[in-house]
Amino acid sequence: MELWFTEHHNDSIGYSLKVNRTLNSENTQYQKLDVIESEFYGRVLILDGILQTTEKDEFVYHEMIVHVPLFTHKNPKSVLIVGGGDGGAVKEILKHDSVERVVLAEIDDRVVENSKKYLPTISCGLYDEKVEIMIGDGIKYVSEHKNEFDVVIVDSTDPIGPAVGLFTEDFYRSVYECLKEDGIIVAQTESPFIYGSLINKLSKMFKNIYPIVKPYICTIPTYPGHLWTFTMGSKKYDPEAVDVNNIPNIDTKYYTPQLHKASFVLPKFVKEIFEEA
Amino acid sequence: MELWFTEHHNDSIGYSLKVNRTLNSENTQYQKLDVIESEFYGRVLILDGILQTTEKDEFVYHEMIVHVPLFTHKNPKSVLIVGGGDGGAVKEILKHDSVERVVLAEIDDRVVENSKKYLPTISCGLYDEKVEIMIGDGIKYVSEHKNEFDVVIVDSTDPIGPAVGLFTEDFYRSVYECLKEDGIIVAQTESPFIYGSLINKLSKMFKNIYPIVKPYICTIPTYPGHLWTFTMGSKKYDPEAVDVNNIPNIDTKYYTPQLHKASFVLPKFVKEIFEEA
């Protein structure tokens, strides 16, 4: 017997991974959580039936959501992650020597605990003494902390279920207050092949709040649409003005200083989605 | 009843499209050919069970395999396509005013005929008076034509079945002779997430023959691995030295002059695959 995990998009596309075994399945307070061992992509975290991260390709998403904003900021010391309970973003943030404090605001402690247990290569940074794990509502946490973070990373699930509130103008405005005067927000903003209208809507919200708004892209084999966008809102620093010669060498598999700049060069139809916002 | 087309990669990944109806299925002299109407990606051409092109995302592949080499060459007049019977590359080549002659060397006339009948938005250029459709062995055609083309585009299927001979050093050397003294070859060279070792091997072959060898990338939602590579071999022109301000404005959905340059900036692990060659 062969077992396959299949995720459907728009009820018309399926993405399937052959499963060697299921490591855990549980209903948490917030969502259905599964951890599987897939044949090609290694271990996979699945929330409400949607693939969140895999051992084999997590580096693309986590490197790009972290290193682009952190190397855009001149001296990031304090970083807040909203979501990201798997620890992948934390792992990448800890590669930056300037960082003194990382707060992970994850609503579901079972995501953190399952990642610690089943995804050690992704969650390894969660034990670092610079890291504070705050189990609770990220929206509430942001609203209660003003002028405190250099970078806020919104490492959310899709805009359904527990993450809906992370795709609103109220939240992005609250993050603005939570950031220091030269702070930067980055949010994962889905694929233009699947979610074009959402990207347009989010881009409008960012432009209403942040003086510098720039989307950037990467390719994630296990995410729907595969061409993935992040949207950066910045109070002061322009991510494209970074001197790539001054970016220190860190251990990566996807990010390079040259790719930092190239990732802001969008395919024409994606550029139009953002410019129309 | 729901019908789904599923393509498998490495026996461990599945990519599925919901099918509204099958438009044609036949066994040609060379391969099994199917045309389906999918719900999300429109009409789809399938050869030996492998998705070749879809109405909705063909623009990514065809624009990138054509406009990057044609805008690297200063004045492309004659272009040979090996494979590409769907006509998508022809359609893009005809957007270049300098081009006087396009030869399509396609081994399977049924690919051409089915594309004309079922994929009119992709095959529309095949009727143009500049286009010669040569049904036959592209390898033989290349070997019989010396110093004749400005650009040769290898728009092949995967390196199994009829296309195996298009992934060999002998063939790339024969193309070198077929090109004029400032000629350029571009070949589709698969995804580094799936076919890393093949990319490394092909890169070595190119470097043995062409003075300038540069890979570039794009994101194709319906191709396995999704991060797609093309490899360019050039006798004279450096694709990264192109003055993007001199590239004329043409009607595209993916390619832009800025993306032309950015597409040569590779993720670190892809760069390493090529540099190790």
Q: Which tens digits make up the pLDDT trace of A103-147?
A: 999 999 999 999 999 999 999 999 999 999 999 999 999 999 999
pLDDT at A168 over 90: yes
Q: Looking at residue B158, what is its pLDDT?
A: 87
Give A234's strand partners: A184, A212
Q: Is B7 helix (H, G, I), strand (E, B) or coil?
A: strand
Write the single-letter amino acid at A122: I
- Could you say which of A128, A155, A170, A238 is catalytic? A155
Q: What percent of chain A has pLDDT over 90?
A: 95
Tokens standing for B101?
């002659």
- Residue A177 scores a pLDDT above 90: yes
Question: What is the reported pLDDT for A163?
Answer: 87
What pLDDT shows up at residue B167? 93
- Partners of A35 in beta bridges: A24, A45
Radius of gyration of chain A (CA): 18
pLDDT at A91 over 90: yes
- CB neighbour class for B228 (10 Å; exposed up to 12, middle 13-18, buried from 19): buried
A249: nearest CA partner in chain B: B268
Residue B150: predicted pLDDT: 98
Question: Which pLDDT score, from 0 to 100, does residue A88 have?
Answer: 98
* pLDDT at A158 > cutoff 90: no
User: For A17-33, what is the mean pLDDT?
Assistant: 97
Q: What is the mean pLDDT of residues A63-70?
A: 98
The conformation of residue B56, written as its DSSP 8-state character, comes to: T
Predicted pLDDT at B219: 98
Could you please report the per-residue DSSP string of A94-150? TT-TT--EEEEEES-HHHHHHHHHH-HHHHGGGGSTTEEEEES-HHHHHHT--S-EE
**H-state helical runs in chain B:** 58-72, 88-93, 109-118, 120-123, 138-143, 169-178, 196-209, 257-262, 268-275
Q: Is A108 a catalytic residue?
A: no
Query: Which residue is closest to A12 within chain B, CA to CA?
Result: B18
Asked if pLDDT for residue A159 goes beyond 90, the answer is no
Find the mean pLDDT for residues A237-249. 95
* pLDDT confidence of residue A162: 81
Contacts of A269 in chain B (CB under 8 A): 253-254
Over residues A229-234, the mean pLDDT reads 98
Provide the residue type at B10 as one letter: N
Residue A111 has a pLDDT of: 98
Q: How confident is the model at residue B259 (pLDDT cuts 50, 70, 90)?
A: very high
d(CA A133, CA A62): 18
CA distance to A108, B172, B187, B207, B211, per residue, from B203 (Å): 46, 11, 11, 6, 12
At A114, list the tokens. Answer: 């399952």
Residue with tokens 């247990």: A117
- How large is the average pLDDT for residues A67-81? 98
- pLDDT recorded at residue B277: 87
Residue B214 has what pLDDT?
97
Q: For residue B162, give Cα distances in angstroms to B29, B82, B111, B141, B159.
A: 10, 12, 13, 15, 8
pLDDT confidence tier of residue A160, bands split at 50, 70 and 90: confident
**pLDDT-derived band at A29, boundaries 50, 70, 90:** very high
Interval B77-95 mean pLDDT: 98
Across residues A69-90, what is the average pLDDT? 98
pLDDT digits over B147-165, tens only?
A: 999 999 999 998 888 889 9
Summarize pLDDT for B116-125 with one digit per residue, the tens. Answer: 999 999 999 9
pLDDT over 70 percentage in chain A: 100
CA distance A174 to chain B (A): 34
DSSP run (H or E) holding A196 = helix A196-209
Cα–Cα distance between B243 and B78 in angstroms, integer?
Answer: 22
Set of chain B residues whose Cβ sits within 8 Å of the Cβ of A255: 267-268
Confidence at residue B71, expressed as pLDDT on a 0 to 100 scale: 98
Average pLDDT, chain B: 97
Residue from A61, A45, A41, A62 nearest A53 by CA: A45
Burial class (CB in 10 A: 0-12, 13-18, 19+), B102: buried
| Alpha carbon distance A114, B112 (integer Å) | 52
Size of interface A-B (CB pairs under 8 A): 122
Task: Look at B12 and A38 and tell me if their CB atoms are within 8 Å.
Answer: yes
Domains of chain A are 3-54 (2.30.140.10), 58-275 (3.40.50.150)
DSSP per residue, B231-271: EEEESS--GGG--GGGSPP---SS--HHHHHHTT---HHHH
pLDDT digits (tens, 9 = 90+) for B28-79: 999 999 999 999 999 999 999 999 999 999 999 999 999 999 999 999 999 9
Of A265, A217, A264, A200, give the one whose Cα is nearest residue B226.
Answer: A217
pLDDT the model gives residue A161:
80
Res B42: pLDDT: 98
Please compute the mean of the pLDDT values over residues B99-125 and round it to a whole number.
Answer: 98
The pLDDT score that the predictor gives to residue B273 is: 96
Q: Integer distance in angstroms from the first to the last C-alpha of chain B?
A: 49
At B143, the amino acid letter reads S
Are the Cβ atoms of B265 and A256 closer than 8 angstroms? yes
Dist. CA B84–CA B80, nearest whole Å: 10
Residue with tokens 């892809």: B270
Burial B40-62 (b: 16+ CB within 10 A, else e): bbbbbbbbeebbbbbbbbbbbbb
Q: Please give the pLDDT value at position B245.
A: 93
Q: What's the rounded mean pLDDT across residues A64-89? A: 98
Contact A193 B221 (CB under 8 A): yes
| B138, B105 contact by CB (below 8 A) | yes
Whether B267 contacts chain A with CB within 8 A: yes
A-chain residue closest to B251, CA distance: A268
Give the pLDDT of residue B113.
98
pLDDT at A245: 93
Output the pLDDT for position B13: 97
Task: Find out whether A188 is annotated in a ligand binding site.
Answer: no
Residues 6+ apart with CB under 8 A from A1: none
Looking at the complex, does the CB of residue B256 fall below 8 Å from at least one CB of chain A? Answer: yes
